[in-house]
Amino acid sequence: MAGNAILSAFVASLCLSSGASAWPFAKRQTLSYADIQKQALANANKVLDGTLSDGMTRTTCNKNNVAVRKEYGDMTKDERLEYIRAVKCIRSKPSKLPAGKYPGAKTRYDDFVVVHMNMTPSVHSTANFMHWHRYYIWAYETALQTECEYKGTQPYWNWGKYSDLTVSPIFNGDEWSMGGNGDYVKHSGGMMGIPAGPGGGCVTKGPFGNLTVSLGPLMSTMDTSLKIPSNPSRDGYGNNPRCLRRDVNNYYMTRSLTMSNLANHITSNKAIGVFQSSLQNDSPTMPAIHSSGHFSIWGDPGGDVYVSPGEPTFWLHHGQLDRHWWMWQNYVEAEVKTRTSQYEGGTNWMNPNSAPGKATDAQWLDVVAPAGKNGIPSNQIFSTTAGPFCYIYQ
Ligand SMILES: *[C@@H]1O[C@H](CO)[C@@H](O)[C@H](O)[C@H]1NC(C)=O
Ligand SMILES: [Cu+2]
């Protein structure tokens, strides 16, 4: 801390003597993740009150009606109970998919899982990775609100906040949590050096204890000795009732998901292309930030890129991914406008030379799109307070 302060004072004095242009560099070195959030929120508020432009046109969203998404542990117990109630509610409503087409889709919640399974190859490692998932999470939040009378917003999991995730308010297994870890069963680690954690078995404690999942697996990363039953259908859409498994572990907490690594990721990637690809590109020894969050929960179907939304905390992890992007878009006042509309990458994950994504490309959510909001162009998803959205992060 003191060392840093001395260093930045030293760098600052060097910059002053050679002109003020290098100031932002010195500032970047010392910005914490909390500082980035603070700056992003201040700028987002300026955009809302019209004193700063992000280049978007907004009609109805303003400071008085903007929704605020909160960190799960920052919600009151009553707010958490209300969120849990709404998730259980959406899991009890009937599916709106064509009957018989997806035998594993039993509930309205499963509709979201099927849509993600269908879209997986076009919305990961592509130009619309951040955009489509922003749209998708918003659709889920909207379904909780319109189909289950939920008055709150979609919570997120601030990755660097809990040094021991297993006892965090999200996974400690108490009645206000998203359920406990999986029961311990002996198992081996997974790809890219994921070590076996303290769970691996069925979740039996807390709000989502003894939950049955039916879709998938399609691309499981769990130890085969756990004998997770295969789906009767090769496409993963068959009915395959089994327990929800987790292996909540702290392996990534001291590696890719530290607050300093997260802050560094935002401050060192100025263009959306490298920002997005470095978020997703795993190295042979260390998953990138996106996979690190998934593998910190791991399990079945949480560790399966196609079926992962079947894990009820998928939405907290991807909510945070959206927040991380929102922070990146907004934290530099002079760059809010250029960062908001950056869009870069292909359209198919298997083919790096696939057609480049265009800002006018329509995004699809099939049966989980809120009424009248299917097929909206990517450029309507650039800002969280323009287009169909009206939310910020606290
Ligand atoms: C889950 O099932 C086990 C075994 O029947 C039981 O002991 C446990 O209380 C159940 N948990 C929940 C949250 O219902
Ligand atoms: Cu996804």
pLDDT tens digits for 21-69?
Answer: 444 554 445 899 999 999 999 999 999 999 999 999 998 999 999 999 9
| 180 within domain boundaries | yes
Q: Which atom of ligand 1 is nearest to the CA of 207?
A: 13
Domain count, the chain: 1
Confidence of residue 146 (pLDDT cuts 50, 70, 90): very high
Residue 29: predicted pLDDT: 56
pLDDT band at residue 269 using 50, 70 and 90 as cut-offs: very high
Nearest residue (by CA) to ligand 1, atom 10, is 204
CA distance 330 to 107: 37
C-alpha radius of gyration, the chain, whole number: 21
In a domain, 47, yes or no: yes
Ligand 1, atom 3, lies closest to the CA of: 204
Selected residue with higher pLDDT from 99 and 236? 236
How far does residue 107's CA lie from ligand 1's centre (Å)? 22
Say what the pLDDT of residue 1 is.
30
pLDDT of residue 22: 45
- Cα three-residue angle 334-159-169, rounded to 5 degrees: 130
Percent of the chain topping pLDDT 90: 87
pLDDT of residue 4: 35
- DSSP SS3 for 300: strand
Can you tell me which residue has the tokens 């914490």? 32
Q: What is the pTM of this model?
A: 0.92
Three-state DSSP state, 367: helix
What atom of ligand 1 comes closest to residue 179's alpha carbon? Answer: 13
pLDDT at 20 over 50: no
Mutate to test the pocket of ligand 1, among 88, 175, 204, 208 (most ligand atoms within 8 A of CB): 204
Residue 387 domain flag:
yes
43 contacts: CB under 8 Å, gap ≥ 6: 52, 330, 331, 332, 333, 336
* Gap from CA of 306 to ligand 2 centroid (Å): 7
Give pLDDT tens digits for 210-257.
999 999 999 999 999 999 999 999 999 999 999 999 999 999 999 999
Supply the pLDDT for residue 94.
97
| Percent of the chain surpassing pLDDT 70 | 93
CA-nearest residue, atom 7 of ligand 1: 204
Task: Indicate the SS3 state at residue 66.
Answer: coil
- C-beta of 374 in contact with ligand 1 (< 6 A): no
Mean pLDDT of 165-188: 98
Summary mean pLDDT of the chain:
92
Q: For a ligand 1 pocket test, name from 203, 210, 244 the mutation site with the most ligand atoms within 8 angstroms of its C-beta.
A: 210
Higher pLDDT, 139 or 59: 139
pLDDT-derived band at 17 (thresholds 50, 70, 90) equals very low
Q: Is the pLDDT of residue 18 over 80?
A: no
pLDDT(152) > 70:
yes
The reported pLDDT for the residue numbered 284 is 83
The span from the CA of 118 to the CA of 367, in Å, is 12
Tokens of 282: 């795993």
Residue with tokens 């996974």, as numbered in its chain: 171
- What is the domain-level CATH number for residue 244? 1.10.1280.10
Average pLDDT over residues 345-349: 91
Which one, of 155, 38, 157, lies nearest residue 87 by Cα? 155
- Find residue 203's DSSP bridge partners: 182
The answer as to whether 130 is a domain residue is yes
Q: Which residues neighbour 314 within 8 Å (Cβ) at sequence distance 6 or greater?
A: 302, 308
- Is residue 15 a part of any domain in this protein? no
User: How far is the C-alpha of 42 from the C-alpha of 191, rounded, in Å?
Assistant: 40
Structural domain containing residue 239: 28-393
Per-residue model confidence (pLDDT) at position 366 = 97
Tokens standing for 344? Answer: 């870069």
Does ligand 1 have an atom closer than 6 angstroms to the CB of 210?
Answer: yes
Q: Tell me: the pLDDT tens digits for 294-342?
A: 999 999 999 999 999 999 999 999 999 999 999 999 999 999 999 999 9
Residue 5 confidence class, pLDDT cut points 50, 70, 90 = very low
pLDDT tens string 380-391: 999 999 999 999
pLDDT above 60 (res 12): no
Ligand closest in space to the Cα of 179: 1
Strands (E), the chain: 67-69, 182-184, 200-203, 212-213, 242-243, 362-363, 376-377, 391-393
Q: How far is CA 112 from CA 219, 258, 290, 294, 314, in A?
A: 18, 30, 20, 17, 11
Rounded-to-integer distance, Cα 188 and Cα 202, Å: 16
